[in-house]
Amino acid sequence: MQGHTPQSVADAAAVATLLQIGAEIGADQVLDSGGTFSAARMAKAADVPLAGITTYLTALLAAGLIVETEVPGDFQVAADYSDLRHQAGYVSWAMHANGPFIDNARAFLIDPVEAARTHRRDGQRVAVSSRWIGERAFYPQIVERVVAAGALRVTDLGAGAGGLLIKLLHEHPARTATAVDSNGAACAAAREAAHAAGVHERLTVVERPIESLVDDPGPVAGAEAILACYVMHDIVADDSTARNVLGALRDALRPGGFLAVADAVSYAQGPEERKFSALFTYLHATFMSVSLPTEQEWLDKFEKAGFSQTRTVPIGLPGGRLFVATG
Ligand SMILES: C[S@@+](CC[C@H](N)C(=O)[O-])C[C@H]1O[C@@H](n2cnc3c(N)ncnc32)[C@H](O)[C@@H]1O
């Protein structure tokens, strides 16, 4: 990896595995809460024996991922925990979330349709690693835009566990938000997270496919900002669906509002992004039957749907772009 020492690569691999073990046992909620915690509290939250958690915490402490507090037996995450978790997200997504694709690569290359039916990824693993990446790579740029525009009615399409909207709800007490996702588990996770964050009264969660907004735009009607992060590539592959869905979003926006789409472009060639972008593009094409648009093809899709201006903003995810469409 250019610009990275073997030590930093070893660090990212080690942190990814340690944190992924935490996610698998349900201890990530405790680590990510930002508060202090004891081994007993983590054992209760994860519903595993105290002895197992004690040895897990010994490893996290030795790695410098957590530190002891002034209260004996209490811990908190280290100051650089979220930076390390962000780097780990790339390793977890690439190697772990995509594990079924890697393990069954031969089957996918022989009969991709049949292999895709049989070898599915674990949605929870995809969502967790995506959040670790997204929280640093593109949530901040979107939050900044929504806040700068003073948008108080916001809808997030393919909202997953609702992390981006919860951040936005924390930013302004008068803001209301709608999360749309076709996956029941993602919707349940968003409701749970909104309750835990105390913003559930201002968040509506709608379990529906984005495509259904063409016939019933209720969840986006009158929104000042419509967001869609790493979900539109599934929808815009077909030209007429792209025109219909993006056109419906444009029509539904309040005058002066904007559509912000964070997504990937096909085989980005920048020196710092080409490797991750190549993996992302290849996995989508061969293992998920999704052909990613180039940057120009994305821009054409917004124009064909009637948006008069689309700006491309770089984001921190290699091969990713933020498209802000208006008019
Ligand atoms: C890669 S995740 C991204 C989650 C979130 N936007 C983020 O950036 O962290 C994609 C999400 O879109 C949802 N999704 C995929 N296709 C969808 C569709 N056609 N309609 C609604 N949601 C969809 C999935 O259930 C998943 O929660």
DSSP secondary structure of 217-258: -GGGTT-SEEEEES-HHHHTTSHHHHHHHHHHHHHHSPTT-E
pLDDT at 230 exceeding the cut of 50: yes
Q: Which two tokens stand for residue 30?
A: 């405790």
Neighbours of 155 (CB within 10 A): 29
Percent residues over pLDDT 70 in the chain: 99
pLDDT at 181 exceeding the cut of 60: yes
pLDDT attached to residue 159 = 93
**Ligand 1 atom closest to Cα of residue 262:** 8
Calculate how far, in angstroms, residue 230's C-alpha sits from the geometric centre of ligand 1: 7
Calculate how far, in angstroms, residue 97's C-alpha sits from the geometric centre of ligand 1: 15
Instruction: Identify the DSSP state of 97.
Output: I
Q: Is the pTM of this model over 0.85?
A: yes
Mutate to test the pocket of ligand 1, among 93, 139, 178, 231 (most ligand atoms within 8 A of CB): 231
pLDDT at 8 exceeding the cut of 90: no
Contacts of 45 (CB under 8 A, 6+ apart): 26, 27, 29, 30
**Ligand 1 atom closest to Cα of residue 208:** 21
Contacts of 58 (CB under 8 A, 6+ apart): none
Residues 184-193: what's their mean pLDDT? 88
**Ligand 1 atom closest to Cα of residue 156:** 6
Nearest CA to ligand 1 atom 18: 209
pLDDT attached to residue 131 = 85
Is ligand 1 within 6 A of the CB of residue 210?
A: yes
Q: Contact, 107 vs 115, CB < 8 A?
A: yes
pLDDT digits (tens, 9 = 90+) for 38-47: 999 999 999 9
pLDDT attached to residue 3 = 59
pLDDT attached to residue 124 = 79
pLDDT attached to residue 161 = 82
Q: How far apart are CA 263 and CA 31, in angstroms?
A: 28
Instruction: Identify the DSSP state of 121.
Output: P
Angle at 171 between CA 145 and CA 77, to 5 degrees: 105
